[in-house]
Amino acid sequence: MQANGHEHVIEVTGLRRVYGDGFEAVRGIDFSVRQGEIFALLGTNGAGKTSTVELLEGLAAPAGGRVRVLGHDPYTERAAVRPRTGVMLQEGGFPSELTVAETARMWAGCVSGARPPREALALVGLEKKADVRVKQLSGGERRRLDLALALLGDPEVLFLDEPTTGLDAEGRRDTWELVSALRDRGTTVLLTTHYLEEAENLSDRLAILHEGRIAATGTPAEVTAAQPSRITFELPEGYFLGDLPPLDELGVCEHEVDGRLVRLRTRELQRAATRLLVWAETAGVELSGLDVRSASLEEAFLGIAREASATGEREYAA
Amino acid sequence: MSGTVTTPKGTRGTRTAATTPLGRMGALARAEVTLLGRSKGTLFAALFVPLVLPVSVRSAAGEMDLEEAGLTIGAVVLPAAIGFSLLFAVYSALVGVFVARREELVLKRLRTGELRDAEILAGSALPAAATGLVQSLLLAAGCVVLLDMAAPSAVHLAVLGLLVGLVMCTALAAVTASFTRTTESAQVTPMPLLLVSMLGSGMTVPLELFPDRLASFCELLPLTPVMTLVRGGFTGDLPAGEALGAAATAVAWTLLAVFAVQRWFRWEPRR
């Protein structure tokens, strides 16, 4: 593989990670990231996001499968990869008694082609905090310091593990803008997040991780489109589910009843909604709490998690 | 936050060149010097203890029957002073440094960068090792002046002993840090080696005053050969064979410790 042009900068095949206690955190995943692309690994806590990123960063050797970053194995060919990557870990990593400027200066001494530390701090708006000790920074400021140091060497590939956790709304937006600007200049970015909004707004492509496997992957629009839309309402007094038009005629693929609350899932939102409303009009009833929404990434995320664990249970039973 | 990337790619005029191992370790060591200066407890133990303990060894040595063993007070106190420096300014200080950096995830973060594993440990250890080196030289000079000793007659042995001692204590500190879980327990886990060395490596009591069998066992302890070489460097009466044996023992301990670090060192806190 060549790392120039629009080839894959990150390639992952059959990747597995098993911890010392036998826990299999990553259970055979495949994906690739092209140059200049923002790729998001999305998942709940414990889905295997950090375990995966650490393998890409070369912090540990995989239990199985293969990782290539810029054409090299990041674990065994460390010297070839590290000068070209920037890493932001999920948390911490700086001596609490050093000041921001001292921390940046230390890192700059360890990064080939480092930009001046002040310039890196200015990128994330921390220049005024230069003389503050790391222990006195807020959680959000620490994330921004971490990002500044990941950017010191103007890396070709950037790994960001939950870059905006602990940031306020404004800080989060600023980080998104900064990361997008980097992508526009050709930087390849792999980030993890549990904020759906972040994955939706920022990433060109994403993969939803669930229990160490990729449950869905594609552009945010593709992943969303693969999911059904949702109609929710309360059944009027004296009516039962059977009083509705037959559900498959409505185009409903899945339904749930919770007391009087009905949840329908459909891939044909317009047809289902129209027929339901026509029925209500004809029957002269009011559908209170009516909520009609097309699939969002959040729906997709929850749906995939639900489906995946149901499949998992079936596998156990078999 | 500016939100824009102000430096276009390619303007590398103000950028640094590719890093070198020495440059990376230097940057790390510089930060560690700052941290050492801000850690009053470590600083006190490192600078003060090795100055005080030799005084008590001096008064204890006055009551020992050294002449019968063919020793002088200086030949007992000077190696002991260097031993205290190695144990307190280097070994136990570094156990604390390695554990603190690991628990703050500093070591893990450093491993994501260009530094190699050995550079991370060596760079972090440099300020403490340099402290031990300078302190040892000053203590040696002080002993020579205050205890009316002759100048060392086999300097190379003393230098060899001191350098191997510095490397060994650094490696042993990393080994000890591997099984030390918290910065609090880092106050306790160096104790066994401190006590064993002070009692059994000829620091507080010369091995010549021990029963033969115990003495020959104690010669195998890690710091004993360092003491032997340093003392031999000043007295000049260490036979070549014994010097070689001591050097071999010291090197063996150092290699063993380096192997243990490669095998067992923990770079991040336990989950």
- pLDDT by residue (tens digit) across A270-304? 999 999 999 999 999 999 999 998 888 887 787 77
Q: Do A154 and B109 touch (CB under 8 A)?
A: no
Least CB-CB distance to B7: which of A79, A91, A119?
A119
Neighbour count for residue A307 (Cβ, 10 Å):
14
pLDDT band at B16 (very low <50, low <70, confident <90, very high): confident
| Exposed/middle/buried for residue A32 (C-beta within 10 Å: 0-12, 13-18, 19+) | middle
- pLDDT by residue (tens digit) across A56-66? 999 999 999 99
Give the residue from chain A lying closest to B31, CA to CA: A106
Chain A environment of B23 (Cβ under 8 Å): 109
- pLDDT by residue (tens digit) across A204-240? 999 999 999 998 899 998 888 888 888 999 998 888 8
Which pLDDT value is given to residue A225? 83
Tell me how close the Cα of B164 comes to any Cα of chain A, in angstroms.
Answer: 28
Which pLDDT value is given to residue A254? 86
Q: What is the pTM of this model?
A: 0.88
| Residue A182 touches partner B, C-beta closer than 8 Å | yes
Q: Are B121 and B101 spatial neighbours (Cβ–Cβ below 8 Å)?
A: no
| Residue A160 touches partner B, C-beta closer than 8 Å | no
Which pLDDT value is given to residue B34? 97
Residue A52 in tokens: 């995966």
Q: Cα dist. A61→A66, A160, B217, B221 in Å?
A: 10, 19, 42, 36
Q: Cα dist. B149→A286, B22, B141, B152, B209 in Å?
A: 106, 38, 10, 8, 22
List the one residue out of B270, B139, B165 whose CA is nearest residue B222: B165
- pLDDT by residue (tens digit) across B118-140? 999 999 999 999 999 999 999 99
Q: Tell me the count of A-B CB pairs closer than 8 A.
A: 136
- pLDDT by residue (tens digit) across B188-203? 999 999 999 999 998 9
More confidently predicted of B67 and A309: B67
List the one residue out of B42, B58, B142 whose CA is nearest residue B95: B42
Q: Show which residues on chain B lie within 8 Å of chain A, measured between beta carbons.
A: 1-9, 12, 14-19, 23-24, 26-28, 30-31, 34-35, 38-39, 100-101, 104-106, 108-116, 271
Tokens 């590290």 found at: A82
- pLDDT by residue (tens digit) across B52-105? 999 989 988 888 888 877 888 999 999 999 999 999 999 999 999 999 999 999
Q: What is the ipTM of this complex?
A: 0.89
Tell me: pLDDT of A11 over 50: yes
- pLDDT by residue (tens digit) across B221-255? 999 999 999 999 999 889 999 999 999 999 999 99
Question: What mean pLDDT is predicted for residues A109-114?
Answer: 94
- pLDDT by residue (tens digit) across A49-58? 999 999 999 9
Least CB-CB distance to B24: which of A89, A109, A125?
A109
Which pLDDT value is given to residue A309? 64
Q: Are A245 and A274 spatial neighbours (Cβ–Cβ below 8 Å)?
A: no
